């Protein structure tokens, strides 16, 4: 899929991908990609103060949280209020994953100015990756009046 405002990754973006990769590589609980596991995706976010925060998913039949939501919570718990960039990476070398619909809606609601690192048309790693504004991933998103934090920059 082509996104109108996609751009190549910066060095800071690459560092974020590396953190998400290291996080899931250290925390995955499966030995092969075809196994079900509790922790199969890692995510990392950068906040507007430049700090990086990571998280892993928690798979559960009740709909456990995605890695992106855990990373957002980790950032907030550490005092980060405005997320500027986010990425998710699959275990066992699956590379960068695009966020699910729920994560896209959460990002659009609470961090409308953030960018998301996504796979490019030709692959999930390296030079194929792109950084896109969350609005490109969820055009025409539902907007609740309560959703946007007062200190979040608008896209």
Q: Which residues are catalytically annotated?
A: 68
Question: C-alpha dihedral over 79, 85, 89, 94, to 10 degrees?
Answer: -170
Q: Which residue has the tokens 């950084």?
A: 131
Region at 95 (left for phi over 0; alpha for psi -120 to 50; beta for the rest) = left
Residue pair 30/12 in contact (Cβ under 8 Å)? The answer is: no
* Distance of alpha carbon 12 from the chain centroid: 14
Residue pair 115/3 in contact (Cβ under 8 Å)? The answer is: no
Distance CA 85, CA 127 (A): 17
Residue 1 has a CB neighbour count (10 Å cut-off) of 11
């Amino acid at each position: 899929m082509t996104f109108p405002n996609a751009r190549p990754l910066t060095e800071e973006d690459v560092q974020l991908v590396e953190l998400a990769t290291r996080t899931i590589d250290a925390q995955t609980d499966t030995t092969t990609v075809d196994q079900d596991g509790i922790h199969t995706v890692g995510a990392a976010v950068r906040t507007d103060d430049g700090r990086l925060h990571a998280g892993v998913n928690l798979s559960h039949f009740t709909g456990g949280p995605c890695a992106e939501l855990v990373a957002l919570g980790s950032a907030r718990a550490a005092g980060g209020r405005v997320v500027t960039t986010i990425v998710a990476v699959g275990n066992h070398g699956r590379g960068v994953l695009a966020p699910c619909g729920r994560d896209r809606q959460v990002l659009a609601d609470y961090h409308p100015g953030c960018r998301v690192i996504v796979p490019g048309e030709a692959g999930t790693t390296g030079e194929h990756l792109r950084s896109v504004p969350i609005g490109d991933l969820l055009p025409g998103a539902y907007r609740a009046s309560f959703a946007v934090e007062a200190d979040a920059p608008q896209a």
